[in-house]
Structure 1
Amino acid sequence: MSRYRPPRRRGSTYITPEGEAALRAELYQLWKVERPTVTQTVHEAAKNGDRSENGDYIYGKRRLREIDSRVRFLNKRLDELKVVDRAPDNTGKVYFGAWVTLEDEHGEEQQWRIVGPDEFDLAAGKLSMDSPMARAMLGRALDDEVTVRSPTGERHFYITEIRYSPENT
Structure 2
Amino acid sequence: MSQEKEFPMTLAGKEKLEQEFEYLKTVKRKEVVERIKIARSFGDLSENSEYDSAKEEQAFVEGRITTIENMIRNAKIIHEDASGDTVSLGRSVTFIELPGGEEETYTIVGSAEADPFEGKISNDSPIAKSLMGKRVGDEVVVQTPGGEMNVKIISVK
Normalised by the length of structure 2, the TM-score is 0.87
User: Is the aligned partner of 1:117 residue 2:111?
Assistant: yes
**Correspondence 1:15-164 to 2 at 5 A:** 15-87=9-81, 91-105=84-98, 106-163=100-157
Count of residue pairs the alignment pairs up = 153
Q: CA deviation at 1:46?
A: 2.1
Looking at structure 2, the residues matched to 126 and 69 of structure 1 have their Cα atoms a distance apart, in angstroms, of 24
Residues 121-155 of structure 1, C-alpha deviation per residue, up to 9 Å, x if partnerless? Answer: 22221111111110111111110111112243321
- Give me the whole-angstrom Cα distance separating, in 2, the residues matched to 1:145 and 1:113: 18
Structure 1 residues 151, 74: CA separation in 2 closer, same or farther (over 3 Å shift)? closer
> Aligned-pair RMSD on alpha carbons?
1.9
The alignment partner of 2:52 has SS state of helix
Counterpart CA distance in 2 for 1:87 and 1:26 is 27
Question: How far did residue 12 of structure 1 move?
Answer: 5.8
Percent identical residues: 30
Could you tell me whether the CA contact under 8 Å between 1:117 and 1:130 is conserved in 2?
yes
Q: Which runs of 5+ in 1 are unaligned?
A: 1-9, 164-169
Counterparts of 1:83 and 1:131 in 2: how far apart (Å)?
19
| Distance in 2 (alpha carbons) for counterparts of 1:45 and 1:150 | 47
SS at match of 1:118: helix
Q: In 2, are the aligned partners of 1:12 and 1:130 still within 8 Å (CA)?
A: no
The answer for unaligned runs of 5 or more in structure 2 is none
**Aligned 8 A contact 1:12 1:116 in 2:** no
Change (3 A) 1:53 1:131: same
CA distance in 1, matches of 2:124, 2:6: 7
Q: Where is the helix percentage greater, Structure 1 or Structure 2?
A: 2
Separation of aligned partners in 2, 1:91 and 1:83: 20
